Amino acid sequence: MRNSFFLGLLMVVLCSGSGAPNRAAEADGQAVAGEAALSTKDMAAIKTLHDAYQQAVLTGGLKATVRFYADDAVLMARGPVVQGRAALEKSLEGMGKAFPTVTAFSMTLVEIDGRGGLAFVRGTLTMSMASAGAPQPVQFSGKFLEILRKQKDGSWLIAREVKVSD
């Protein structure tokens, strides 16, 4: 049931062309697989997670974000697919060595939606990272799409993430 719901949610995300800034806030009356839309509390928790994620990057670098990912998280960005929290931590540690200081980081949440224990977040991000020997910080801007999974304690963790540079 959970895997079929996940697949259905992913299909809705990939096939949706509505461009609505926040479908969860709209009373469209459509439920997926009989699940209720995200509650106001869940929406707030997801926004809080992203606020904490942003603060973690600014104060602790990229490696500080590992705690926001599920144990079985999958990250797809430039390079090989990273599977699992341990692999993610190793990947971010390597990136942190190449770019030891994040000088600026900002995320904008464009869309949040979901049903039951799964949600997705679509957004944009910008980041500046200082590298030893580089005259100027390296600039990055891009887009992301995340699938989050609600935990038993009511918190949310990132289960799947795709990041694409502009």
Domain ranges of the chain: 2-11+35-165
| Predicted confidence (pLDDT) per residue in 44-68, tens digit | 999 999 999 999 999 988 888 999 9
Q: Is the pTM of this model over 0.95?
A: no
| Predicted confidence (pLDDT) per residue in 13-37, tens digit | 333 333 344 444 333 444 445 678 9
In CATH terms, the fold of domain 2-11+35-165 is Nuclear Transport Factor 2; Chain: A, (3.10.450)
Query: Dihedral of CA 152/122/86/66: which sign?
Result: negative
* pLDDT surpassing 60 at residue 94: yes
| pLDDT averaged over every residue in the chain | 81
**Rounded average pLDDT over 146-155:** 96
Q: What is the pLDDT of residue 60?
A: 85
> Do residues 5 and 115 make contact, with C-beta atoms less than 8 angstroms apart?
yes
Q: What is the pLDDT of residue 51?
A: 97
As given in the structure block, the two tokens for residue 14 are 């990939």
**Rounded average pLDDT over 137-145:** 92
What number of residues does the chain have? 166
> Do residues 120 and 150 make contact, with C-beta atoms less than 8 angstroms apart?
no
**Rounded average pLDDT over 38-45:** 95
* pLDDT surpassing 60 at residue 5: no
